Every structure is written in structure tokens, then in C-alpha cells.
Amino acid sequence: MRQIDPFTTLHNKVPCRICGTTHDAATSMGRAAWPDSGSFSVCVTCGEISVFEVSALGQVALREATLAEVRDFTRDHPDAVQRIIALNAMRRDAR
């Protein structure tokens, strides 16, 4: 992994588990983004919440979030949940 600016870290390519979009960077609005095992990932294409798993060699994978993790995410990141809802509404309206 390689941090390219204060808010973006490049990582190996991984597909979204739901829509297949290839992801190769972790970004965060207003704070550093460095994927660690157990940190959340939100697909910019479909809004799916996944969880990073990072190997000892720094290889990133995405796994399905457990129900408890989704509950933690919605509790701890209400701003991100609102952005996901807005993104999905824009996509629905564009169809």
C-alpha cells in the first residue's frame, strides 16, 4: 500500500463483492485513510458496506460485513450512511 495524499491510500485491486467494480484506493473525507483489517469500505458505485482484511504482506481483500458490524457502522458513521442514501437516491432518479 502507498499513501498518495493525506486522504488517499492506493492498494492492490479488489472487486466489490456486489457490483464487481474494481477498487484500488481507500479514501476518506477529511481524515487519513489507511485500510486496516476490520475497517469499513463503502463501494462508490453501489454503496455496499464491506470490511477490509489486510494480510501480513499488505494485500487487501474485502469481506461481507456481519450484521453487528453493519450496526456499528450505522451507529458510528451516520454522516456516511446519509451520503450512501443520497447516492442511491440519485442513481434511482437517473434511471
For position 16 contacting Zn ion by CB under 5 A, the verdict is yes
> What is the residue-wise DSSP string for 54-66?
E-TT--EEEEEPP
CB 74 within 8 A of CB 90: no
Terminal Cα-to-Cα distance of the chain (whole angstroms): 36
Q: Which of 46, 61, 81, 87 binds Zn ion (CB under 5 A)?
A: 46
Q: Which of 8, 28, 39, 45 binds Zn ion (CB under 5 A)?
A: 45
For position 51 contacting Zn ion by CB under 5 A, the verdict is no
Contacting residues toward Zn ion, per CB under 5 A: 16, 18-19, 21, 43, 45-46, 48
